[in-house]
Structure 1
Amino acid sequence: MNKQELKVLLKELKKWSAPATVLLSLYIPPGRPIADVLNNLRQEASISQNIKLKRTRDAVETAISAAIDRLTPINKVPDNGLALFCGENFDTEDFKCYMFSPPEKITVYFYRTDKTFHTEFLEDMVEENEIYGLIIVERDEATIGLLRGTKIQELEEIEGFVPGKHMMGGQSQRRIDRIIEEMYGNFLKEVGEKVNAYFLPYVEEKKMKGILLGGPGYAKNDFYEGDYVDYRIKNLILQPLVDLGDQGEAGLREMVMKSKDVLKNQKYIEVEDLLDEIKYHLAKDDGLVVYGKEEIEKAISLGALDSLVVSEDSEAEKLSTEAEKMGTKVYVISDEIPEAEWVRKTFGGAIGKLRFRI
């Protein structure tokens, strides 16, 4: 499978979601014996029989069986490894199973059934290799994500249970405080283990340039100062730690935008700044913004186009090649950028800033 084919398939996989953890994702690195993988899947099939809800149980068992059927005829994992995605779309009751060898080598063995397919280990094969890790931590909640080029990707939200302090007094109070602190420490440990699982493959491939760590309170400091993550990950955490008000995707975006000073020349920051500048020129109506296919082509031919923002999958994406030949900075943005829909619906998928009026 080449990179363009993989890019198309990833878009399809991202459309799938389920109300329960029934979508199977499996990554097999080269050198891993197929027999070992099959044994692991059979063990997972046995464990899945304990799932209480029948439809969820049936969907997981079907996905695992499909994976086993596709792997059984294979004698050896290909040089670049194998990726396998199986599952049922609960809305359409459609079932699909994809198995392929990607254009670059898989370096991690990964198995999970979840509400979405885990495509994160393939993303950098079709994107530029500029990756930052994102971690938001508070006492009983955390978010893990990636910043890759112009995309912010939420990998997982984690919820724990750490009660507030009680006011009983005496030895009972001290005992309860110790229990609460132990629960807090265990939650931070859980977050650290997940961070290691997600980030270490990128660290080992030397693709992760840095890690942002933030949160609303002191938990981010406790997480940083404690031994919760691999030392290689800790060495990549950028300073200062970021004060935040949100978790989830909104919190990840807030953290990135608050970290402009340490993310210099990062494409997400560049495109957000450029869009702000374009909005400023539109408001002034000073003639330094161009949109519409013919007008953009004219600006390119005159060497007047400084920067161009193109919405991914739009017809205007073809303009980017000609623009780059003329020295224009081109940013192809996906729906992860909040303004992508604005660019696509309002301006036909492309809008640019001029060097001079034409």
Structure 2
Amino acid sequence: MSEQAEQANEDRRKYEFRKVIEELTEYEGSGTQLVSIYIPEDKQVSDVVAHVTQEHSEAANIKSKQTRTNVQDALTSIKDRLRYYDTFPPDNGMVIFSGAIDAGGGQTEMVTKTLESPPQPIESFRYHCDSHFLTEPLEHMLTDQGLFGLIVLDRREANVGWLKGKRIEPVKSASSLVPGKQRKGGQSAQRFARLRLEAIDNFYQEVAGMANDLFVAERHELDGILVGGPSPTKDEFLDGDYLHHELQDKVIGKFDVAYTDESGLKDLVDAGQEALADQEIMQDKRLMETFFENLHTGEEATYGFEQTRRNLIMGSVDTLLISEDLRSDVVIYECPNGHEEYEVVDARHSTPDHECSECREDAEVQEREDVIEHLMNIADQRGTETTFISTDFEKGEQLLDAFGGIAGILRYSTGV
């Protein structure tokens, strides 16, 4: 699978997760009867089943008959879902939500949803029972985007690690053999200075070797590298081109950091917050700038559902731009005379009646689906890259508010 296809699949998976999470957050139970279970990938399914069985037994002590019944029904449903899995859950683990939600009019409806392989690994087993499903850990996974390399060093020690979302992972460390500035007796000042420079150079090479070993293999997924330490150490390290040339191009900033042990990695992230924030939406900004430039010239840009869909079918869209906050469905209608028409509606609203624009006959609903899924399926078939655009900057907001959340950068001008 190509890198572009892998990224498209990842974007689609995150969007599907986001949709389910938004749906789950709207559910409400009467009392503490909505069950959420977070299962790490290294947790044996048999242990989870045993835990659920124990919770089912303890739920018999709940005083309210309705709450007792609903909790036990939810736990039974979870056990039924667990039967589909072997010894361990899928990669990154999984989350199961189950419970009786308020359906209005004093009625309840049992809901059970399973989310497999979340964007980041589930770190610990968690059982939660409340009037709302526990979705915050998954929400953090979706907002914690980005993979950054971290390097902190002075002439005594160095640490190298990752920033994955908001998680800092120290990986490698080294201590130097660089002598202090005071030379030992019997050595000339010139010889001592030369030996000290050689030791510094050797240490910088060692640090670069650690970074290269860790980062080069992930260079295509790497969003940037931050380097920290006192001056002039970090400047000497970067100016000396010790890093692999592809990593050198990934450095997005250097920062003054007092400590160079593992705590220095955290200090580096704190110092680099502004650079990290800019980096997260930099690609979105570049794409939207390209879109507006093309739109201004009247060529190689499309927007809105109808125009963008036609260009997608023609295969002329190079990059499909979709707002992260778009929540709409596309309804496909067909009239008695065989005319087919599409209408985009709010995903939260019921399907409206429709009159055929060609013959004025009443049209019937043939299908209703998520508009993003609809467009992404066409994009996949035509080899078009899909990118979700954040609304955390002005042009990202304009994509949603002024262009309906749908646009495209074209491969060539089509006049459509």
Shorter chain as denominator, the TM-score bin is 0.3 to 0.5
TM-score, normalised relative to structure 1: 0.44
Higher CA-based Rg:
2
TM-score, normalised relative to structure 2: 0.40
